[in-house]
Amino acid sequence: MSASVASDVAVWTPRLITDADQLLVSADPRRWVEFDASVRNSWWPPGRRSSQAAGELLAGDQGPVDLLIAACHGSGYVREATVRQLADRELPSVLPILALRAADWVRQVREPARALCLRHLERAPSTTCAVLAPVAFAVRDRQFGDWLATELEHRFRQSAPDVLADGLRARDRRTRRVAHRIALATGRLTVEEIVRVALTDDDIAIRRRCGETAIRQARGTADESVARRLLGSRTSAVRADALSELAAAGHLEPSYSALADRSPIVRATAQTMVRRAGDDPAARYRALAAGGVEPSVVAGLGETGTSADVPVLRDCLGHHSARVRAEAVRALRRLGDTAADVLMPVLADPAPRVTRQVVRSLLAGSDALDTARLAELAAPGGSRSVRMAATRLLGASDVWLRVAGALRLVGDPDPAMHRHGLTDLRTWLAEGASTAYSRPDQRTTDDLRALITQAEPMIGADTARVIRFHAGITRPVR
């Protein structure tokens, strides 16, 4: 490898340097961490991790990418020499790599890197914090990673307001989380600003923290408008907290409206508030269902209803909406209705979300299911979700039917079914074969004998031999 890795293929004009710098600065911190590991582990050929390599790599005029690559070299000598070279570079793109090297396991590398970080922070605190923070917080859990993260937290608390403001607006969620935690703890945000973040930030942890803080602060002023606005939050926990706050203040109408919320935690909170008011949420759900079936209404009826509601829920199994059908199966299960004669026809539903719920309902009584019908549904030609569901129920009903089903799938033309068969077979061999004390009946034995022979080219002779051993099947004479 030549001394100049990237300069061999590019002339570093001012425009190219600027474009590359902007691209590097805006890179996701995870990419920086991956880049560091990738360069160290695979870029350099054997025998170049030495002090000699440091001198070769850093001789002459290095392009910006050259130095970034050298800063990730597997040799501490090279990384140390590169960090010292970076002292003369003022481009923002050196900051993420300095953040990595500030957490380096070699003291001679991390100490100069930390000194450079501090120098940049003194010269341009706002810009430097914004660029250092994503990588610093990404490597915080490393053995030496906490120093820079702690330093940046201190800067967020003590520096000029624009430093924290940049942290609050950062694209990196870790940076925003730290900045919001500090801003909330130090009272740097108004209630209006906190509510706005709780409603608009794309990170659920930030929305939750800001929602809790906004409600707590508004409680002291008796301002119910804050809780009402938070009813529109995308975060279910925030909506639930807002409901509880309004109910405590005597405002129950939001709880009645939230009975049909899409979130289980919000519905549960609303149901509790309605019960405390002396009302029956199940009666409310029945009234809502009479006016039009929605998934959340079906779910709520299953959460609060009784066996008397089973006929209504069974009628929903034929609804045109897959979400309604899935919620109906789940609601029936909550009310104890898992009748096979009702749910087996639904197992052929074209919607995977419905078949998953049917499987959950039928698993407990799988040993009493119609195995012939399950075998039909598991056969090639049907939809993948139905075949998977039927195969799982067959396997749950009898261990040897499980093995037979997995062996059939090993030869399946559908790649997903083939992988499922191999995975299930390996799982059984690793976890269940040693406790398979029973032997298959004669019909299943005959099926297994043929299936093992068919699958042997794909599963290997050793695996086939182990399966025959556990099933008590002698190897066929060739």
pLDDT digits (tens, 9 = 90+) for 389-448: 999 999 898 899 999 999 999 999 999 999 999 999 999 999 988 888 888 889 999 999
**Domain parsing of the chain, residue ranges:** 1-184, 189-279, 280-337, 340-394, 398-478
Flag whether pLDDT at 49 surpasses 80. Answer: no
- pLDDT confidence bin for 61, thresholds 50/70/90: low
Work out the mean pLDDT of the chain and round it to a whole number.
88
Distances (CA, A) of 80 to 70, 71, 114, 246: 10, 8, 12, 59
**Tokens matching residue 204:** 């659920």
Distance of alpha carbon 410 from alpha carbon 413, whole angstroms: 9
pLDDT digits (tens, 9 = 90+) for 144-175: 999 999 999 999 999 889 999 999 999 999 99
Do 138 and 100 form a contact (C-beta atoms < 8 A)? no
Lowest-confidence pick of 226-240, 249-263, 424-438: 424-438
Q: What secondary structure does DSSP assign to 41-73, as a single string?
A: IIISPTT--SHHHHHHHTSS---HHHHHHHTT-
Closest CA relative to residue 409, chosen from 393, 431, 387: 387
- The values of phi and psi at residue 29, to 5°, are -60, -30
Residue found by looking up tokens 């054997």 in the block: 46
More confident residue, 27 or 57: 27
Distance of alpha carbon 396 from alpha carbon 424, whole angstroms: 12
Flag whether pLDDT at 60 surpasses 60. Answer: no
- pLDDT confidence bin for 323, thresholds 50/70/90: very high
Do 191 and 226 form a contact (C-beta atoms < 8 A)? yes
Most confident of 25-39, 295-309, 464-478: 295-309
Q: What is the pLDDT of residue 32?
A: 83
- pLDDT confidence bin for 117, thresholds 50/70/90: very high
320, 324, 330, 334 alpha-carbon torsion, rounded to 10°: -120
Determine how many CB atoms are found less than 10 A away from the CB of residue 431: 9
Closest CA relative to residue 268, chosen from 253, 283, 258: 258
Distance of alpha carbon 277 from alpha carbon 91, whole angstroms: 64
Distance of alpha carbon 45 from alpha carbon 279, whole angstroms: 74
Residue 70: CA count within 13 A, CB half-sphere: 31
Distance of alpha carbon 63 from alpha carbon 8, whole angstroms: 10
Closest CA relative to residue 382, chosen from 348, 418, 416: 348
pLDDT digits (tens, 9 = 90+) for 68-88: 888 888 888 888 888 988 887
Domain covering 189-279 in this structure, CATH number: 1.25.10.10
pTM comes to 0.79
108: left (phi over 0), alpha (psi -120 to 50) or beta: alpha
Mean pLDDT along residues 201-226: 92
What is the number of H-type helices and E-type strands within the chain? Answer: 29, 0
Q: What is the pLDDT of residue 16?
A: 45
- pLDDT confidence bin for 179, thresholds 50/70/90: very high
